[in-house]
A and B are shown apart, each in its own frame.
Chain A
């Protein structure tokens, strides 16, 4: 167990080093910072002086180490487009994305498990079949079309919910939250359904197939033979044993929730990090792109690491 954890942590660090190298290379090879900062009328002396000031005359490895050190301290440079430190912009945008991802994650998990258990118990029932067929269509629907469809239904035709933005937000410390106002909460509904729907179908199908598998096991038959109620058998004995793969998949999907938030945020003009990233690509704002890449990879690698370790911790059979 211990050596496994150490090995996984080392692997995770290696991945981060590689990602850092990619981000660093983006800074170095796309456009010449000297060109960006000095005008047409420059002398070789100016160029040399600036190079020395920016540390560009040092060897590659030294520059890379400095870059990593600055990034670890949250210093990602200044956005080309907005002229402000990237770290400030990201800190400002992060709450919107994290709230959206959290709400849609909860939505996907609860509804996914409930529907998964339902379709597994009523395997050949009418509604179970309807839900399964719908989920197949749902998987093929691109996220942005789901968003547009929801906007059309609930904003254009019914005029119940707002179609863009976060509504009113409340500042708590450095964190702006939309969870405390009515307009903030109504603004959350459509984006979180859009973002969570795919994950929901995924969890539902997983829970269903795991449940069907577990229900065939001997211990379930034995629990029934002991005269336990169907409810106890389903929830205490069967559902509990389907949770290991569900934890894994949910954990891994957390990362893609944040990545797919890019699409949802773009459809709903949600002022989060994803929208920032898309704008950065359109304007070729390298510092913002690199910072987003670094940040999201730390998140992904951390999630993967935790899931892997949890997996071993939860399932005693995997311990050696």
Chain B
């Protein structure tokens, strides 16, 4: 008769057991902030659809101290999402070969972050142009 009795360990709290997993859960949780911000925009869009008075009410609400604090938190969290998104990218992209050589992880992450900076500046410039 077999004396085997394989013991299966619990996964409870696995994410607290390793700094790598703690960081993973932190960057995954930035999704909550992305969702919250998208809902703010959705409300804005609905208010825009309801006419000028409703839209101006939304703009006023965005000026409240509470809203500013929330958006500061959104900014930090979503910027961290940007960072972590491009840090993991070397592991998610197929190999990129340039001049017969595979582009290294640092170059891929750097390239992604650079693209985010360029996109941000371009967006600011575009909004500026439309606003003037």
Is the pairing of A and B real?
Answer: no
Chain A residues within CB distance 8 Å of chain B: none
